[in-house]
Structure 1
Amino acid sequence: MKTVVLEVRSLADTLADAARAMNSGRADAATRIGFATPELLWQVLSAKRWELLKALCGAGPVSIREAARRVGRDVKAVHGDVTALLQAGVLTRPADGSAGIEFPFDAVRVEFLLQAA
């Protein structure tokens, strides 16, 4: 199963993990996308965008129009959400160069820690 982990972590921690993976020659089993703050994570991953990801999970490449149909929303509004998710690296364009979008993962895990101030 191909999993993406959306997490809150510092740039220093992300770079340290990348260096460790390069030195060991072994990468994590899951793809990781880091956000600097919980607020940024929730700004990118709104309720409507989460709904869109659920509809696209395991679907393969689809057009934006098809994605809008699957979630029962306006194409223009879904296009805005797709743009934000593409910029964050959560969605991709199909590898074969065809038009459309793809959520190339079978599962999503969201990780962050809320601590007392």
Structure 2
Amino acid sequence: MARAEIEVGRGLREAAADVAAAWKAAETGHLVAAGDRILFRDWEALCAVLTPKRYALLRHLRQSPESGVRALARALGRDVRRVHQDVVALADLGLVTRGEDGRLSSEVDEIASTIRVAV
């Protein structure tokens, strides 16, 4: 099962400190667990990227990979240009992958989020 972790409200300094600590630990020979997290500065930024239509796109690709953007747009009943924009945005986050043959898919089974209310 592939899992994506999202954090909302975490500052860049905190994230950079985590990277620096992991780097330092690795340099001294300590085993550092790999992890991918998607960070959003605030709730609005998350909502701008993970829209309901993009969520539906992810769910569709998880169940039925498509041969390309046009096929995906047809399957979703949506405009090709908008679907292309959504695929690019989700691919930038690592939530959608494009194979060498152009096939679109998503390996994400679960998205876990931490949303900080008090920052």
TM-score interval (norm. to shorter): 0.7 to 0.9
Off by >4 Å, runs of 4+ in structure 1: 58-62
Aligned counterpart, 1:25: 31
Are the aligned partners of 2:65 and 2:103 in contact in 1 as well (CA < 8 Å)?
no
Aligned counterpart, 1:15: 16
Structure with higher RCO (Cα < 8 A, 6+ apart): 2
Greater Cα radius of gyration, structure 1 or 2: 2
Q: Distance in 2 between matches of 1:48 and 1:54?
A: 10
Relative to 1, partners in 2 of residues 1:15 and 1:92: Cα closer, same or farther, differing over 3 Å? farther
| TM-score in terms of structure 2 length | 0.74
1:38-53 correspondence to structure 2 within 5 Å: 38-53=43-58
Report the alpha carbon displacement of residue 33 of structure 1 after superposing the two structures with TM.
1.0
Q: Distance in 1 between matches of 2:71 and 2:57?
A: 11
CA-based RMSD: 2.5
Stretches of structure 1 lacking an aligned partner (at least 5 in a row): none
Question: Is 1:105 paired with 2:111?
Answer: no
Stretches of structure 2 lacking an aligned partner (at least 5 in a row): none
CA displacement, residues 68-112 of structure 1 (integer Å, 9 cap, x when unaligned): 233222222211211222233332332xx2213332322212321
Are the aligned partners of 2:66 and 2:72 in contact in 1 as well (CA < 8 Å)?
no
Q: 3-state SS of the aligned residue for 1:57?
A: helix
1:16-95 correspondence to structure 2 within 5 Å: 16-22=17-23, 23=25, 24-28=30-34, 31-57=36-62, 59-60=64-65, 62-94=67-99
* Count of aligned positions: 113
Q: 3-state SS of the aligned residue for 2:113?
A: strand
